[in-house]
Chains A and B, each alone.
Chain A
Amino acid sequence: MYIIVEDDPSVADALESLLSGAGLPVRVFASAEEFIHSASPAPDDTMIVDLGLPGMSGGELVRHLEKAGATPKVIAISGKSSRTIARETEGLADVKILRKPPAADWLEAITA
């Protein structure tokens, strides 16, 4: 299962189009809170998390999942500067980062 947590509806929808167009199973959440309340990730899930979520940030969400012992594959997406991204993902085990706007094919990057 591919889990998208992104507050910008267009970006979420476009990402969903890309993944589901390739026949992959997708669920979309608009905030970290919404996701935590309604689902818990399985180890073979892939989470695509926007770092700049309002409320609980993407970084906090990933930390929260790590603490809870859940270990899905995590891909962080962000439009911020590399310095900000480094600060926001500090201490996170291994997170792949995709920067907005995309410079390459994201489907390949996500499924790789």
Chain B
Amino acid sequence: MGELEDRRTAVSEARFESLLDTAADGVIVIDETGRMLVFNKICEQLFGYTSQEAIGQNVSLIMPPEFSVSHDRFMNNYHRTGERRIIGIGREVSGMHRDGTVFPLELSVGEAKTAEGRQYIGVLRDLRSRRAVEQRVSQLQAQVVHMTRLSAMDEMGAAMAHELNQPLTALLLYLQAVARQVRACHADAKPPSDKMLDVLDKAVLEAERASHIVQRMRQMVEKRDPERATVDLREVVNEALDLSEFVAQGATVTIRRVFGMTPIQVDADATQIQQIILNLLRNALEVAKESEERWVKVSIGSDDRSAFVSVTDSGPGFSEDVGKSLFRTFSTTKKSGMGLGLAISRAIAQNHGGDLMADPGGNGQGATFTLMLPMHHSDEAEEDTWG
């Protein structure tokens, strides 16, 4: 705090004021009793009071009533015990405009010991616009996630029709067989045989196989809010790989899974994580298909902070040029690609507090995409350490 003090005394009063007025953030200085000594231009805009009106008044003027009470208590408590709740930390608080509008602020507080006693310097940033942007982004993201799911479904549509065809064909043929035999028995006035029951049982199994396929597909398309839960990353990835193998049936690319034996717990929305894996896998399969060795390797690992899923393929990797715009939306080198896969995947990863990284490979090496997610930590480790 010595530095602040130095500045406070070195800079002349007038210069200090004009400096404050060019600041991009609101700046308020209060004394030990909570009286405002400085109230800069940005504060005038934020709160609707001129500095003449504000200076000399208690800082509770610009707080919602429920806060102003506890603010006095906090200050008294700090003076008595020296226990810090906010100084040097910064946090999100609520401010109140002259017209009564309450809005979110980021507040950082510094302390200066002056000849006239302790003073506190608060730097305030209006969080409303950022909040609105964040909200918009997460709305958009939810929409786009839904869209990519749908366009992946489009592609899956043909595969799915094919997949449903098999059990439906078997089902109908079993039923045709039974119907014929029942009719024949009827004509001969004989009771139906046990064999017919066997065939009926098989028919039921095929109907179940078909409905299972529909159920799994439905899970992928249904739009819903993100649902975080503590999950084993290995299971989540496994399921995505199963699904994709099922869609790519008969394809000639081998998918290798390199998983450890111990569960890897992360807090995540399983469907969104699967969305990432499916996007990475789709990209990898597309290039692996054209390569000589035709494999994709999916490995999972972790250290004590983070979990990793890496997808490597036997393709040619990507150039520096492609690498520059890899994660940008609508950047694609494919005729039918939308260039959304990686952009969305990274957005989801970051929304989970993780990230998506790319290694370009090259010189006979395929690209590697690595999803990083924070490991789940049980609660005991992190008690609130504010103040």
Contact = CB atoms under 8 A, between A and B. Distances in A.
Interface string A3-38: 000001011011101100110000000000000000
Contact of A101 (B158, B172, B181, B209): B172
Contacts of A17: 173-174, 177, 199, 202
Contacts of B177: 14, 17-18, 21
A10 B207 CA distance: 11
A107 B250 CA distance: 29
5 contacts: A10-B167, A11-B166, A11-B169, A14-B170, A18-B174
A15 B180 contact: no
Interface in A27-56: 52, 54
Contacts, number: 70
A64 interface: no
Contact of A10 (B158, B180, B209): B209
A11 B173 contact: yes
The interface centre, meaning the residue of B165, B170, B172, B205 with most chain A CB atoms within 10 A of its CB, is B170
Given A14-B202, A21-B181, A101-B169, 17 more contacts: A8-B166, A8-B169, A8-B170, A10-B167, A10-B206, A14-B169, A14-B206, A17-B173, A18-B174, A18-B180, A22-B180, A79-B162, A79-B165, A80-B162, A100-B168, A100-B169, A102-B176
B176 A18 contact: yes
A32 B171 CA distance: 24
Nearest to B167: A10
Nearest to B203: A14
A89 B166 CA distance: 20
B172 A102 contact: yes
B132 interface: no
Interface string A87-108: 0000000000000111001110
Contacts of A13: 170, 202
Interface of A: 8, 10-11, 13-15, 17-18, 21-22, 52, 54, 77, 79-81, 100-102, 105-107
Interface residues of B, number: 23
A54 B249 CA distance: 10
Contacts of B206: 10, 14
A100 B202 CA distance: 18
Contacts of A14: 169-174, 177, 202, 206
B161 interface: yes
A58 B162 CA distance: 16
Interface string B173-187: 110110011000000
Identify the 10 closest CB pairs spanning chains A and B, nearest first.
Answer: A79-B165, A14-B173, A101-B168, A10-B170, A14-B170, A18-B177, A100-B169, A17-B177, A100-B165, A101-B169
Nearest to A103: B172
B248 to A, nearest CB: 13
Nearest to A9: B170
B180 A21 contact: yes
Given A17-B199, A21-B180, A54-B250, A106 B165 contact: no
Contacts of A15: 173
B258 to A, nearest CB: 26
A101 B165 CA distance: 5
A81 B157 CA distance: 12
B165 A105 contact: no
A57 to B, nearest CB: 10
Contacts of B162: 52, 79-80
Contacts of B170: 8, 10-11, 13-14
Contact of B161 (A8, A11, A21, A79): A79
Contacts of A81: 158
B250 A18 contact: no
A106 B206 CA distance: 18
A3 B181 CA distance: 21
Contacts of A8: 166, 169-170
B210 to A, nearest CB: 10
B332 to A, nearest CB: 26
Interface string B338-364: 000000000000000000000000000
A12 to B, nearest CB: 9
B246 to A, nearest CB: 14
A100 B166 contact: yes
The interface centre, meaning the residue of B165, B202, B206 with most chain A CB atoms within 10 A of its CB, is B165
B176 A106 contact: yes
The interface centre, meaning the residue of A13, A21, A22, A54 with most chain B CB atoms within 10 A of its CB, is A21
